Amino acid sequence: MAAMKQVVCMKWGTLYGADYVNKLYAMVRHRTTGPLRFVCLTDDPDGVRPEVECLDCPTVDIPMPYCLTGWRKIALWARPEDLFGFQGDWLFLDLDVVVTGSLDDFFEYEPAKPFVVMQNWTQPGQGIGNTSVYRFRAGCAPILLERMLTDFERILRAHTNEQTYVSREIGEVAFWPDPWCQLFKVQCVPAWPLRFWKAPQVPADCRVVAFPGSPNPHEAARGIWPEKRAYKRLYKFIRPAQWIERAWTDAEAALRKA
């Protein structure tokens, strides 16, 4: 029998609705073969499709507003007995990613490594991962959470965000092959001024496109890059990325046929 593939995402607050969880599940199921366990850690399961296993989103006892930012993802490094008994390897995906290719390799790549992560393409070559897409072994580094809870002020002075903290202090970082995970704003959006007449494209062999910051996928699909400052609107321009909607609709269509 094929091994269970385990995927987890997190949803808290109101930035992303249940539709983002549902679309992510559909894309993951469409692009993954064999048995799949898909868990959403959330403070509001309303509207989430029944195939998704919803569990309470863990909190982290650090000051506001940090406890409601990406630092909350450090809760995934808890000991298994404090994280719903999670066992084995889990693929974490941010809600605002678009899956464009097979995910099967993400469960098999570097199987001995307890932490494999996407290259942070805004700081390439500096050994920092982008935790929009990473695989972790449950319980492999509880010290990350324990240290954060007892010494957050020092950690915040030393590390600007959660992904830098994990990359610098976990001890060993392995990265996915570069083509697999790309940043929308870095690798997909054409350089200026080409972006005024050329639409964003998915690079060859890209499996997951990440959308940290702005725009979000539903905005990029419509060619919207929100920006309040007029001078930045001069270059923050994109044409509609039609492949985003196709990724969503193709995944839903595949589910209906299954």
Q: pLDDT-based confidence at 227, cuts 50/70/90?
A: confident
Instruction: Work out the angle between the directed axes of helices 143-150 and 162-169 (0-180°, nearest 10).
Output: 120
Sheet strands side by side (includes 5-11) = 53-56, 36-42, 5-11, 89-93, 129-137, 115-119, 174-175
**Two tokens at 61?**
């006892």
pLDDT digits (tens, 9 = 90+) for 84-137: 999 999 999 999 999 999 999 999 999 999 999 999 999 888 999 999 999 999
Please state the pTM of the whole predicted model. Answer: 0.96
Between CA 130 and CA 140, with CA 135 as vertex, the angle to 5 degrees is 110
Chain region(s) in the chain for CATH 3.90.550.10: 5-178
Whether pLDDT at 1 is above 90: no
Tokens of 85: 């008994």
User: How far apart are alpha carbons 219 and 241 in whole angstroms?
Assistant: 9
- CATH number of 5-178: 3.90.550.10, 3.40.309.10, 1.20.140.10, 3.40.50.620? 3.90.550.10
